[in-house]
Structure formats: C-alpha cells, structure tokens
C-alpha cells in the first residue's frame, strides 16, 4: 500500500497558517454577512487543492511522520467545518430589517418625521381649533394608507379639516356632495363622444389625492359603491377602460347622525373599507371662544396662508417607511387575541360580548396592525408596543362590531364592549 510523502517542518507551518487563515475568513464572514460566501468558497477550494497536492501518494521509501498526518487531517476538518458553516449561513435568512431599524439613517428619518407631523398640526391649527385627537387619527390613517369615516353634527369643521390637511400636504382636493339624485358617473366620470374628436374619457372628481365624500349616507348604495374600487384598488373603471387614481389617495367620508329621512345606511362591505370610524364632537368653551375671536367663518380659506409641509412623493416615502416599523410576535398575538375576543367573548370573560352578532374579520386585525405601526412612527419609535395597539383599537373596531337587536334596544355602544375587551385580554 503506497504511503504519503514525508513533510518537512516548513510544510507543517504552512498548514498551520492556512488553518489560521480559514478561521480568520470565518470570523470575517460572520461580520460581513453571507454576501461574501462566494469569495470564501473560492478560497476554500484553492486551499483544498493545495492540501490535496501536498498529500499526493509518493514512493514507499519516503515514510510520512505521524505529526504531519495529524496536521493534514486537522486542516481538512477545518475546511469541512467552514464549508458547512458557509452553507448554513447561506440557508438562514438574514434579518436585514432589524439591521435597517438600528441604522442611523432610519433613526434620523423617524426624528425628522416627528417634526414634520408637528408642523402639519401647527398649520392645521390656523383653521381648525381643538380637535387634536381627530387630527392625530387622520395622520395615522394617512401614514397607514387607509380611509376614514367621520360622524358628527353639522358645523364642526369636518370639511375645513380635510381641506386644510390636503393643503399642508400639497395634494389635490375634491369635495363631492352626496345627494339622492347623484349618479356613479358624477363621481368617476364618463366616456363621451364629440364630432371630429371621437370617443374620449371625461374623468370625474375621484381623480384627486384627497376626496371628501360629504354626507355619504344621502346617496343610494349604488352611488356609494362607486367609491369601493378606488378605495380598495386605487383605480376607477370608466366604460371599458381602467384608470389609476393619483397617489397618495385618501378618502374622508362624513355622515350626519341627526337625520334619518332621505338617508341610506352604508352597506357593511363598504363600511369595512374604512380603516377608521371617528366621532367628531363639539369644541370646549375655550376653543369655541378662540373660534369667535379668529372669525374663521368670515374669512376666505386662502387668507390663512397655510403652508405646504410635505408633498405627495414625500408622503409616499413615509407610508413605505411605516411598513418597516418592527412588530414583535407577542404584540402580533396580542392584536389577534383582541379581534378574537370580538368573535369568542366567552373565551375571554367579556360579559358585554353577548350583544355582538358578528365580530371583526381578519381585515380588523390587519387594520390594527397597520395603524399601530403608524402610531409608533408618529411618536418617533421604530417598534410597536401594546400602548400603540390600545391607542388605535377603538377607531379600527368601532364600526366593525355588528350589534344584536337586544344590544341596540338596550343602547349598548361598541366602545363599551371594546373597553371591556382591552381590560380582559392579557397584555404581553
């Protein structure tokens, strides 16, 4: 049987150096990530070739020392370990998101966004006095790329609020007054014919960044549903042609809770498309005195000189960055349990749950998830806590709980049930 060639001491030292180099390569690989895997594998191949050349069989009369044989085996073991380590690291997904969250650039952007949102509030306050919670909720919805349904009595600045918000974001704005005789074509547009020009499309007011659907419950469901495609899919179909709506696209619908004559209840499928349902109440005494001194109703909108703080492109960047906010698995489970408590209230000991006919769908969980991330961003944090979840849960679930007739007869509010759910579901 042939024996291996005896190594001199210099060759044994070379093996030691190669082994040390492999260990350094492995350490550098751990620091720099799997993108350098190809370079390391190439080095391993070269070292393996050199090792194989050094262990070629030679004539029998040159015996190999035991120490040299052990060193060669150790070198091959080191090569095998590094190859396996490289393969394992290539198969394991790297947490690029977590690295990005910890980056200085992202942290600086979050700080800048906090200042931007403060400036937006300051500009809106020139026209809308008080209503700070409503303004914050609208900003959450904007960052989440969602839509809002606001219920409130006439004369509390619902229209002024959405118009001022669109101005601060330098976005186009259109107001649609819903009436019983309104047609879907009045919203999305029509395809018409002109002699010498042929057929062409005349786009409706839906093709703006900000849409105010004023008193949406005044129009029949056929007209209300004309908004659904644009709200859900960011497009509108006119005749046989589909057109994208401008981005960002935000719809704020209002409805008057005082009158029932000549109104149409919004279908559940359409209500579910709104991320939030908000109640806009009366201002307090001090705010109303300030409204009187400011003579807001006696001046034109443009005289307040509201300055654009953002632009549509920057708002789209903010929406993209909000998707990078970190949500721990235990917080995700907390969100799911809250929604599950609306479906299985007995499981969580929710006594008012007996008044719920139907609980929230998975879209409710998605809504809380998105809104909690937006709330974290508005407050300059790159991770979601249970506090953020609680802050948005009412606005997301308020219109998604279908009350039984017994609950309606006893005037049980969905907010009361949500309060009990938040108390009964364990906080992580």
What CATH number did the domain enclosing 406 receive?
Answer: 1.10.8.80
Segment 35-70, tens digit of pLDDT: 445 554 555 555 555 555 444 444 444 444 454 554
Does 151 share its domain with 236?
yes
Average pLDDT over residues 15-35: 61
At residue 80, the pLDDT reads 61
Strands 356-358 and 402-403, by their bridges, are antiparallel
Residue 108 lies in a domain: no
At residue 195, the pLDDT reads 85
Between these two residues, 151 and 92, which has the higher pLDDT value? Answer: 151
401 has a pLDDT exceeding 50: yes
Task: Say if CB 131 and CB 283 are below 8 A apart.
Answer: yes
Task: Say if CB 396 and CB 149 are below 8 A apart.
Answer: no
Does 262 share its domain with 353?
no
Band of the pLDDT at 416, cuts 50, 70, 90?
A: very high
Does 235 share its domain with 381?
no
SS3 416: helix
DSSP designation for 222 = H
Q: For residue 237, what are its two tokens?
A: 């179909």
Task: Say if CB 348 and CB 341 are below 8 A apart.
Answer: yes
Does 242 share its domain with 132?
yes
At residue 91, the pLDDT reads 40
Does 147 share its domain with 270?
yes
At residue 90, the pLDDT reads 41
Q: Which of 76, 93, 110 is the last residue of a domain?
A: 93
Segment 165-214, tens digit of pLDDT: 999 999 999 999 998 888 889 999 998 888 888 888 889 999 999 999 99
Does 132 share its domain with 245?
yes
At residue 394, the pLDDT reads 95
SS3 365: helix
Residue 319 lies in a domain: no
Segment 328-381, tens digit of pLDDT: 999 999 999 999 999 999 999 999 989 999 999 999 999 999 999 999 999 999
282 has a pLDDT exceeding 50: yes
d(CA 37, CA 46): 14
2 has a pLDDT exceeding 60: no
Q: What does pTM read for this prediction?
A: 0.73
At residue 180, the pLDDT reads 87
392 has a pLDDT exceeding 90: yes
Domain of residue 193, residue span: 127-311
Does 303 share its domain with 338?
no
Does 178 share its domain with 32?
no
Band of the pLDDT at 264, cuts 50, 70, 90?
A: confident
Residue 111 lies in a domain: no
Average pLDDT in the chain: 81
* Cα angle: 306, vertex 165, 310; to 5 degrees: 75
Does 141 share its domain with 222?
yes
Average pLDDT over residues 406-420: 91
Query: How would you write 40-67 as a 3-class SS string?
Result: HHHHHHHHHHHHHHHCCEECCCCCCCHH
Average pLDDT over residues 413-418: 92
Q: For residue 110, what are its two tokens?
A: 């979050």
Task: Say if CB 264 and CB 221 are below 8 A apart.
Answer: yes
Does 251 share its domain with 132?
yes
| All residues at 6 or more sequence positions from 42 whose CB lies less than 8 Å from its CB, including other chains | none
At residue 417, the pLDDT reads 94
- C-alpha distance across the termini of the chain, in Å: 68
Between these two residues, 124 and 16, which has the higher pLDDT value? Answer: 124
155 has a pLDDT exceeding 70: yes
Cis peptide before 248 (omega within 30 of 0): yes
Residue 299 lies in a domain: yes
Between these two residues, 30 and 162, which has the higher pLDDT value? Answer: 162
Band of the pLDDT at 5, cuts 50, 70, 90?
A: very low
d(CA 56, CA 255): 87
d(CA 148, CA 277): 6
Does 30 share its domain with 159?
no
At residue 6, the pLDDT reads 47
Q: Which of 69, 93, 117 is the last residue of a domain?
A: 93
At residue 82, the pLDDT reads 54
Does 175 share its domain with 144?
yes
What radius of gyration do the chain's Cα atoms show? 32
| All residues at 6 or more sequence positions from 230 whose CB lies less than 8 Å from its CB, including other chains | 188, 206, 236, 245, 249, 251
Residue 320 lies in a domain: no
Average pLDDT over residues 230-251: 90
Residue 346 lies in a domain: yes
Give me the percent of the chain exceeding a pLDDT of 90.
Answer: 41
201: CATH: 3.40.50.300
Instruction: Count the domains in the chain.
Output: 3
Task: Say if CB 250 and CB 210 are below 8 A apart.
Answer: yes
Residue 254 lies in a domain: yes
Task: Say if CB 219 and CB 182 are below 8 A apart.
Answer: yes
How many Cα atoms within 13 Å fall on the side-chain side of residue 203? 13
226 has a pLDDT exceeding 90: no
Residue 122 lies in a domain: no
Between these two residues, 420 and 75, which has the higher pLDDT value? Answer: 420
């Amino acid at each position: 049987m042939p024996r291996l060639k005896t190594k001199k001491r210099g060759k044994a030292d070379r093996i030691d150096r190669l082994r040390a180099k492999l260990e350094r390569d492995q350490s550098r690989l751990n620091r720099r990530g799997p993108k350098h895997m190809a370079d390391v594998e190439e080095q391993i191949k070269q070292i393996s070739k050199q090792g194989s050349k050094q262990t070629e069989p030679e004539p029998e009369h040159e015996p190999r020392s035991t120490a040299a044989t052990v060193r060669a085996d150790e070198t091959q073991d080191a090569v095998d370990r590094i190859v396996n380590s490289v393969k394992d690291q290539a198969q394991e997904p790297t947490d690029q998101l977590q690295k990005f969250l910890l980056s200085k650039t992202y942290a600086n952007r979050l700080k800048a966004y906090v200042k931007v949102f403060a400036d937006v509030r300051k500009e809106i306050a020139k026209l809308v006095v008080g209503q700070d919670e409503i303004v914050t909720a609208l900003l959450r919805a904007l960052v989440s790329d969602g839509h809002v349904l606001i219920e409130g009595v006439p004369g509390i600045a619902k229209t002024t609020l959405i118009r001022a918000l669109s101005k601060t974001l330098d976005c186009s704005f259109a107001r649609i007054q819903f009436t019983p005789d309104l047609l879907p074509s009045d919203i999305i547009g029509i395809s018409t014919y002109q002699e010498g020009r042929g057929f062409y499309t005349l786009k409706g007011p839906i093709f703006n960044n900000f849409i105010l659907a004023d008193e949406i419950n005044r129009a029949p469901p056929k007209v209300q549903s004309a908004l659904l495609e644009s709200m859900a899919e960011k497009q509108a179909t006119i005749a046989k042609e589909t057109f994208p709506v401008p981005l960002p696209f935000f719809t704020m619908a209002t409805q008057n809770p005082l009158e029932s004559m000549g109104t149409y209840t919004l279908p559940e499928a359409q209500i579910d498309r709104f991320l939030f349902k908000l109640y806009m109440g009366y201002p307090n005494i001090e705010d109303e005195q300030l409204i009187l001194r400011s003579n807001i109703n006696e001046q034109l909108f443009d005289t307040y000189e509201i300055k654009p703080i953002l632009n549509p492109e920057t708002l789209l960047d903010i929406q993209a960055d909000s998707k990078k906010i970190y949500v721990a698995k235990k917080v995700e489970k907390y969100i799911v349990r809250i929604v599950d408590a609306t479906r299985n209230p007995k499981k969580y000991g929710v006594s008012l749950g007996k008044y719920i006919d139907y609980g929230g769908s998975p879209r409710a969980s998605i809504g809380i998830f998105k809104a909690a991330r937006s709330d974290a961003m508005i407050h300059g944090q790159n991770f979601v806590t249970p506090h953020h979840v609680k802050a948005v849960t009412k606005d997301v679930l308020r219109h998604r709980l279908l009350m039984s007739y017994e609950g309606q007869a006893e005037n049980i509010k969905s907010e009361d049930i949500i309060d009990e759910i938040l108390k009964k579901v364990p906080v992580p």
